[in-house]
Amino acid sequence: MNTNEETTPIRKRKRYDEAFQRSSVEHWMLSGQSARQTASELGITTQTLQNWQKKFKALPAGPVAGTLEALQAENRRLQKELHRMVQQRDILKKPWV
């Protein structure tokens, strides 16, 4: 018996490294977008994004997260550096007469 059965191609599962997974979840949480919008941007399914969120919620925070004091200290340091850079820029803008 000769049948014309169409075979469906076998889809390979894509593997994403942990860094991509973490950054995807962070992007979703910080963007204020829906899971569907973020997943669409990243080319993954909504379910995958939600699974990653559950996975990382159970794990301790990675090196990206810091203590509040450390973040405040870094913010102060960056504000001082910005102030110094603005002063340098203003000096360079002055006409030399």
The set of residues, in sequence order, having a beta carbon less than 8 Å from that of 44 and lying 6+ positions away, is: 16, 24
Sign (positive/negative) of CA torsion 76, 83, 27, 13? Answer: negative
For residue 56, what pLDDT is reported? 82
For 34-65, write each residue's pLDDT tens digit: 889 999 999 999 999 999 999 888 655 555 45
pTM of the model: 0.49
**Spatial distance between the Cα atoms of 44 and 39, rounded to a whole number of angstroms:** 5
**94 DSSP assignment:** S
Residues 6+ apart with CB under 8 A from 27: 38, 42
